Amino acid sequence: MTANTSKKYTVILADSCRDNMRNMRDYLSETGSYDILDFAFDGRQALELTKKHEPDLLIINLVMPSLDCFAVLEELAITERSRGTRVIGISATWLDFTLRKAQSLGVDYVMQKPFEKEYFQRRIGEVMQLKTNRTDVPSGGTYQNAKAIVTTLINTFGITANVKGYHYLRDAIVMVRKDFGLASKLTTDLYVQIADKYDTSPQCVERAIRHAIDSAWKRGDAATLRSFLGFADFVAKDKPSNGEVIAMLVNKLNTQLVYLEDGP
């Protein structure tokens, strides 16, 4: 758990599923770092409670009765909610549109259900730690370089510089971070741009990234890699697709970036 234990963060939990609400409450209470102010069981309640309390953190299911997460955030933006409130979305589905919409509305992280306790606590702690770090960085400064963070993420996943596809994957993550729409246009846009940069073909880019992911999956511990990516369960397949790996690594990059200034 990486939350700052020197202070308690205030939290609003919003989910129509009471079992999931209880699990999140218990997981947060275990850490001793969070003060849960209230619970919302539909979007309208989430909106009113967030406006009333202006918590440090709102954890909200993307799909809610009355108002969905996106309608809640749009309304909060209109009423000029406090910029200090972090927002973590949770969802049982994992669609490109959902991720793009969440990112456009300022959601700090999207977590897929079901999630394990340790994973949930770790991700919440990372997001809240970034909030603390942000106040320590001068306006206009550079907190970390995106490519340096991506390099660390790829190495942790098990892909090293000598693996074919390493540089393609690194560029793909940085590019999708800048324009998440590319995540739904891998073959028609993203791979084409990378291929142009390296004077190769989009097909070669796709195969090389696939090879890098396959190699990491075969060499590493699959359970550890699933946990690292944030996928709680792989039932239909034994390994993630190129798009899933890129999207999840972009999400992890976003949780670690406070200020972004790409290097050459």
* Residue 237 and residue 180 share a domain: yes
Given the structure tokens 């028609």, which residue do they identify? 188
* Residue 129 and residue 15 share a domain: yes
Cα separation, 14 vs 42, whole angstroms: 7
Residue 4, pLDDT score: 44
Residue 135, pLDDT score: 40
Q: Among 134, 166, 191, where does a domain finish?
A: 134
* Residue 156 and residue 250 share a domain: yes
Q: 89: phi > 0 → left, psi -120 to 50 → alpha, else beta; which?
A: beta
Residue 196, pLDDT score: 92
Residue 253, pLDDT score: 78
Residue 264 domain-assigned (yes or no) = no
* Residue 178 and residue 62 share a domain: no
Secondary structure of the chain in HEC code, one letter for each residue: CCCCCCCCEEEEEECCCHHHHHHHHHHHHHHCCEEEEEEECCHHHHHHHHHHHCCCEEEEECCCCCCCHHHHHHHHHHCCCCCCCEEEEEECCCCHHHHHHHHHCCCCEEEECCCCHHHHHHHHHHHHHHHHHHCCCCCCCCCECHHHHHHHHHHHHCCCCCCCCHHHHHHHHHHHHHCHHHHHCHHHHHHHHHHHHHCCCHHHHHHHHHHHHHHHHHHCCHHHHHHHHCCCCCCCCCCCCHHHHHHHHHHHHHHHCCCECCCC
Q: What is the tens place of the pLDDT at every residue in 106-141? A: 788 888 888 889 889 988 988 887 654 444 333 333
Residue 20, pLDDT score: 92
Given the structure tokens 């963060």, which residue do they identify? 9
* Residue 245 and residue 214 share a domain: yes
Q: Among 99, 114, 134, where does a domain finish?
A: 134
Is the pTM of the predicted complex or chain greater than 0.85?
no
What CATH number is attached to the domain comprising 111? Answer: 3.40.50.2300
* Domain tally, the chain: 2
Residue 4 domain-assigned (yes or no) = no
* Residue 128 and residue 14 share a domain: yes
Cα separation, 243 vs 246, whole angstroms: 5
Residue 203, pLDDT score: 95
- Which residue range(s) make up the domain with 116? 9-134
Residue 240, pLDDT score: 79
Low-confidence ranges of the chain (pLDDT < 50): 1-5, 132-144, 232-236, 258-264
Residue 158, pLDDT score: 79
* Residue 16 and residue 107 share a domain: yes
Residue 163, pLDDT score: 82
* Residue 158 and residue 124 share a domain: no
Residue 225 domain-assigned (yes or no) = yes
